[in-house]
Structure 1
Amino acid sequence: MSINKLKREELLLYGVISKGDLSLEKYLEKIKQSIDAGVTILQLREKNIDTESFIELGNKVKKITDKMGIKLIINDNIEVCKKINCEGVHIGQGDISPKEARKILGEYKIIGLSIQTREHLEKSISSDVDYYGIGAVFSTKTKLDADNVSYSDLKALSLDSKIPVVAIGGINKSNILELEDTGIAGVAIVSAIYGVEDTYKESKVLSDLAKKIIF
């Protein structure tokens, strides 16, 4: 890649949030608390709202991420990414291809791709992807259809990848240290940050633990 859109260290603690039943006030407050406590990049994952509502929500969040100095990624929805002019998208194996996403978004946007296997890795090498999300590394309640990726597979894929890798899936303060020495650039966390009452406290704990295994 000729353009440095993303620094490896920005992936250290990758927050992934869905609004769900949270009030808008609580949702935005949790985002602020998590960034204050160490979240280094944020992804909005909204599968159950229409595009216009997603754009409205995204614009509100982008004001926060811009002010607090971190990048905002949209899960899957390229139209939302373009409309709110955020930093990038994250796509899965069943979504639009990375090459098509790059054509639509242009060379300056970040594209993250979910992979689980060596076949996924090899297939995407010629696509202009900026980072991989690999998982689920542990069982997770937020993505019931996700296949688990073993420690050895995570390490092999991470070490063979020419771009940074983020581990995702069921990661929390009790198991994060098990990911040491896998070569990952960061951890993507959903419930252990945004599904708890004290988001600031848990984000701080996870940030400190992530630094132990990644730096």
Structure 2
Amino acid sequence: MKFTREQIAKALKLYVITDRSWLKEDETLLSVCEKVIQNGATFLQLREKELGAEETRKEAIELQKLCRRYNIPFVVNDSVEIALEMDADGVHVGQSDIKERDIRAMIGPDKILGMTAKTVEQAIAAEKAGADYIGTGAVFGSTTKKDAKYLSMEELKKIAASVSIPVVAIGGINSENVSQLEGSGVNGAAVISGIFAAEDPAAKTAQMSRLTDIFC
């Protein structure tokens, strides 16, 4: 389905990125994601670097069905080919992905295109390349990317102000620090371990949903 720019901006409020490494024995990625969505997640990205192409495709198909049932956007991290093959709502790519390929031309005008941008220059380039939104960080460090570079609140504000498309902050965001993003100009928070590493991801999502009302 097609989401409007306004719908995408609102959906960034609580942007959840998967991390199956935190799954318990009796859980599946699908079961946890459904609980997370039922408790307030507004956007879902499949990001599983350790999975092969076939496993990623299978997870993507199931998660896309889930997100369509709840009418929230679903994107696949990095793999434009898989996103197109299984008709995902869109794809999220890094800066290196747009240097040699026109991703917007590949996916067409109706798919969601998210891009990572860590500087004002990269943010402007992403907007010119046809991005619908930008993900930027790491605002509070990162437990997912060990080489992630800290992004100051001052730089975050500059990036958000440099483009007309919405921006979602990422990097170590949890229930203890998300309130610090108020007034930064971003449209929402992207959360990974802040939800998936919780003892009860559903309850943590419900809490994060209330806390991210600062972006509404």
- TM bin, normalised by shorter chain, reads over 0.9
**What is the Cα deviation at residue 145 of structure 1?**
1.5
Structure 2 Cα separation of the partners of residues 98 and 155 of structure 1: 29
SS at match of 1:112: strand
Q: For 1:59-111, what per-residue CA distance to the aligned partner results, in whole angstroms no more than 9, with x for missing partners? A: 11122111121111100011110111010011112224496111211111111
**TM value normalised by structure 1:** 0.92
Name the counterpart of 1:81: 83
Q: Does 1:15 align with 2:16?
A: yes
CA distance in 2, matches of 1:122, 1:68: 32
Aligned twin of 2:129: 127
Is 1:118–2:120 an aligned residue pair? yes
Measure the CA separation in 1 of the matches of 2:43 and 2:100: 20
In structure 1, the partner of 2:4 is 4
Q: Is the 8 A contact 1:5 1:110 kept in 2?
A: no
CA contact (8 A) 2:118 2:136 kept: yes
1:91 aligned partner, one-letter code: V
- Separation of aligned partners in 2, 1:47 and 1:24: 22
Aligned to 2:47: 45
Q: 1:5 touches 1:108 (CA, 8 Å); kept in 2? A: no
- The one-character-per-residue Cα deviations of 1:153-172 (angstroms, maximum 9, x if unpaired) are 11111122200000000000
Matched with 1:214 is 215
C-alpha contact (below 8 Å) 1:167/1:188 kept by paired residues = yes
Rounded to whole Å, the distance in 2 between the matches of 1:160 and 1:148 is 19
Choose from 25, 30, 33 the match for 1:31: 33
Q: Deviations over 1:21-79 (max 9, x none)?
A: 63684321210111011100100002112111111111111221111211111000111
Structure 1 96/53 Cα, relative in aligned 2: closer, same or farther at 3 Å? Answer: farther
Deviation at 1:187, TM superposition (A): 0.4
- 1:197 aligned residue (191, 196, 199): 199
**TM-score when scaled to structure 2?**
0.92
Letter in 2 for 1:48: E
The change in CA–CA distance for 1:21 and 1:185 in structure 2 (over 3 A counts) is: closer
Secondary structure of 2:184's partner? Answer: coil
Q: Secondary structure at the match of 2:21?
A: coil
Q: Indicate conservation of the 8 Å contact 2:75/2:92, yes or no.
A: yes
| Number of residue pairs aligned between Structure 1 and Structure 2 | 212
Paired with 1:80 and 1:174, the residues of 2 have a C-alpha distance of 35
Is contact 2:117–2:126 with CA below 8 Å preserved after alignment?
A: no
Instruction: Please point out which of 94, 108, 120 is paired with 1:92.
Output: 94
Alpha-carbon distance between aligned partners in 2 of 1:91 and 1:98, rounded to the nearest angstrom: 13
Structure 1, 180-189 or 65-74: larger mean CA deviation? 65-74
Which segments of 5 or more consecutive residues in structure 2 lack a partner in the other structure?
none
Aligned-residue Cα RMSD (Å) equals 1.8
Aligned residue for 2:69, secondary structure, equals helix
- In the other structure, the counterpart of 2:107 is 105
| Residues in 2 aligned to 1:142 and 1:14: alpha-carbon distance in whole angstroms | 15
